[in-house]
Amino acid sequence: MYYLAIRQFARTLNNLDTILGKATSYAESRKFDANNYCSERLFPDMLPLANQVRIATDMAKAAAANLGGKEAPKFEDNEKTVEELRARVRRCISFLEGFSAADFEKVNAKTVIKIPFPQGKALHADEYLLGRQIPNFFFHVTTAYNLLRKGGVDIGKLDFIGPLELLDA
């Protein structure tokens, strides 16, 4: 499960990268600066797009690092343009794609994983992945999507879901 969840994070981030590309194309077609999206918020006291993308990638790379036993790359949190956000997303995808199923063989339901908040607390691996990382990850990718969707970008849920490995029924 752990490996497949990390693989899904990479796929969803790939969809996010495409969505961010569509934001740039839309801005070009309307002749405004696509980077205006970086500071857009759904509501004044919510985090802007840049932070939504940052937190989504942070959730994915922390999950991979903690469950798969590799050190995560550090991101500087200083992205100011859509292209810089896309570069971060792609760096995160590269990190996630460096894992194979074998990397997760040492983890099991009893593995304890420290979390940054609340301080001094930890979760069992399944709770960490299913209760914390997956909901947080999709929360922030969806909020990024909603921000761009509300900001006029021509995207639909299929862009968010991406291609599936369909079989004939």
Give me 135's structure tokens. 């909901």
Question: What token pair was written down for 34?
Answer: 């696509």
Q: Does 8 bind its own copies (CB under 8 A)?
A: yes
Q: Provide the minimum distance between the beta carbon of 51 and its own copies in the complex, in angstroms, as a whole number.
A: 12
Q: Total binding residues for its own copies by CB under 8 A?
A: 45
Number of Cα atoms under 13 Å in the Cβ half of residue 30: 13
Q: Residue 50 Cβ, how far from its own copies at the closest point, in Å?
A: 17
Residue of the chain from 28, 46, 69, 73 that contacts its own copies (CB under 8 A): 46
Q: Any idea which residue has 């740039």 for tokens?
A: 24
Task: Mention every residue, 6+ apart, whose C-beta is less than 8 A from residue 43.
Answer: none
Q: Which CB atom, from 32 or from 122, has the smaller least distance to its own copies?
A: 122
Nearest distance from residue 75's CB to its own copies, in Å? 20
Query: Of 102 and 167, which CB lies nearer to its own copies in the complex structure?
Result: 167
What's the CA gap between 2 and 107, in Å, rounded?
8
Q: Are 56 and 15 in contact (CB under 8 A)?
A: no
Which stretch, 17-25, 27-35, 91-99, 137-145, contacts its own copies (CB under 8 A)? 137-145
Distance CA 108, CA 140 (A): 27
Query: Which token pair is 58?
Result: 């942070």
Q: Is 150 in the site for its own copies (CB under 8 A)?
A: yes
DSSP secondary structure string, 135-161? HHHHHHHHHHHHHHHHTT----HHHHH
Name which of residues 23 to 42 contact its own copies (CB under 8 A): 42
Binding residues vs its own copies (CB under 8 A) = 1, 4-5, 7-8, 11-12, 42-43, 46, 112, 114-115, 118, 120-124, 126-127, 130-132, 134-136, 138-139, 142-143, 145-146, 149-150, 157, 160-162, 164-169
